[in-house]
Structure 1
């Protein structure tokens, strides 16, 4: 495969970040884009040097026909799904059925059943599918596994994950759509994916506390989640918030003979390692280019090798992460409908 030709479904801000990283990947180019707004697509095409004839727009059907036209384009080898969360699984399956390799933005699915459908579509088509869980393609993630696998720090004793920020005013955002938004889907998928990556075993949710706010249509949507669960015999604490006054993004892994602290774990560039009773040592591990580049380069390498699955972010990880989120949501209890303050 001389050059991998990419199309992007969706022209939001994250699609710009993806395109910027793609420009740095050797042997890959962006050739097509689809979405609802023709004016926005035109600006996108000009910025990222996409032929206007490959800008597919359709406003009346929420971009549906535009995305279909892109999937029928024989000049497109791979697609990046950059649509709102609730459309990820649907368009991943349609793209796989069209024979396209698929890199889908996180969360790739909103439920374990959707994950099973995507996995089945990938296996039936034989096309490559990978969830764009970008932290897995960073030097920090590799170093964490190196430390844990070496046994130097002993077995993992506990994991504590916090992803706290302030969304600000999001009344028009899909993040407040009860069917696809909320903190657990948007922020929580990163933290859950980290725990899924480092811990094996059955999952048991011991406590799940949720704080609701009013979302679209007056229906409640989660704005903060505090979860205690156990994976295998390891206790895990998860804390996610979209209206926190404090900003904190940390994953702490306590082990028998030390600990690892990963800050900014959604785009990590360093870690703090403590061995025994010694002083914490900072290990700087800068991102290669940016936080998108690693996953895109890895994906292109898989395509050139004829692989249908990633060993770093396999289908099984997408399925298991979705199942853990399912278990947390089930532990919430009933959602206040309509919203009750």
Structure 2
């Protein structure tokens, strides 16, 4: 197997976690680091053993880079993704792909035009846990899936920095609200429902000009989803799926940057069945999924196809617009 030579664009905290995850990859290795400041790229490369570093343009111009991971702030994703695709690289872009649907469409048009793979980096879409949920939603063993309830929220402590900067598309919806939304879209698709939902309720509370806390009630045909998010308060990380014949409880539903969730609890007719699942390094798993697409000549990854990226971008754009409009 010829391993994918990865470049990281943006030597920040999330990129550091990606590089750590990449060490568990079966198909890829870290090769280069790019930054708006060459000296920052060089320091990150030295810390993590990358052979090359430089500015974004210098790294994208290299023939020995096959794929890039974009770990910069939300507002820079689209430009960097398009530049990387046009340079002939496969792209794994940290979620959200961009703050608006229009910018996401610009990325996907570039991927289609250049015939290079693009994947929005939703680590929660990969591994045995995610596959088990799809199988439950599709299989009919528990009856029809009626409702999805989940939230991702934390108290950032400070009310400064990227998360609270309107110019950097700060706020909860884009940063972590995308996770319960992506779960709802995934399960809607698995259960045969439409993935573009109707909006039944879009609420938010502003904090310093950005959405500090937000809730949405969505309808995917006959499937309802209640999702919440916050960067100013801790919310439960337990999600609940309501089927016709059972309730499925998902403790620690989002896992972590180093391990996917490991348990599904099925409650049916007074009985509780705890199913333990193998754990994967989710950031390595998403990197390997893109490497496989590159190897096989595919533009999309089945765990997070472009249709799901578009559906999520539409909801995130509208939800955030409603929040900021008050």
Please indicate, yes or no, whether the TM-score normalized by the shorter chain is above 0.5. yes
- Alpha-carbon deviation of 1:29? 1.8
Instruction: Count the aligned residue pairs.
Output: 316
> What does residue 185 of structure 1 align with?
174
Among residues 52, 55, 77, which one is paired with 2:53 in the alignment? 55
What per-residue deviation string (whole Å, max 9, x for no partner) do you get for residues 61-88 of structure 1?
xxxxx21221111111110001111111
Deviations 1:248-289 (A, max 9, x none): 21221101011222233222423333243132222222422x
Do the aligned partners of 2:28 and 2:287 also contact (CA within 8 Å) in 1?
A: no
Gaps of 5+ in 2: none
Q: How many Å separate the matches in 1 of 2:320 and 2:86?
A: 30
Q: TM-score, normalised by structure 1?
A: 0.87
1:146-161 pair list within 5 angstroms: 146-161=135-150
Q: 2:163 aligns with which of 144, 162, 175?
A: 175
Preserved CA contact (<8 Å) 1:258 1:273:
no
In 2, Cα distance between the equivalents of 1:333 and 1:134? 28
Question: Contact 2:36/2:56 (CA < 8 Å) preserved in 1?
Answer: no
Give the superposed CA RMSD.
Answer: 1.8
Q: Residue in 2 aligned with 1:281?
A: 273
Q: Does 2:92 align with 1:103?
A: yes
Distance 1:333 1:128, change over 3 A: closer
In our comparison, the structure showing a higher alpha carbon Rg is 1
Unaligned runs of 5+ in 1: 57-65, 215-219, 336-341
| Residue 221 of structure 2 is aligned to residue 232 of structure 1 | yes
Aligned partner of 1:90 in structure 2 is: 79
Task: Say if 1:113 and 1:165 are closer, same or farther in 2 by CA, change over 3 A.
Answer: same
Separation (CA, whole Å) in 1 of partners of 2:3 and 2:151: 40
Where does 1:151-300 land on structure 2 (aligned, <5 Å)?
151-171=140-160, 173-179=161-167, 180-199=169-188, 200-201=193-194, 202-214=196-208, 220-244=209-233, 246-267=234-255, 268-288=260-280, 290-300=281-291
Maintained 8 Å contact 1:270/1:282: no
TM-score by length of 2: 0.91
CA contact (8 A) 1:261 1:271 kept: no
Shift of 1:125: 0.4
1:158-217 CA deviation, whole Å, 9 max, x = no partner?
11112121111141x211121411000001111111111111324221222211111xxx
2:98, 2:7 → 1: CA distance?
20
Tell me the secondary structure at the aligned position of residue 303 of structure 2. coil
Does the 8 Å CA contact 1:153/1:275 hold for their aligned counterparts? no
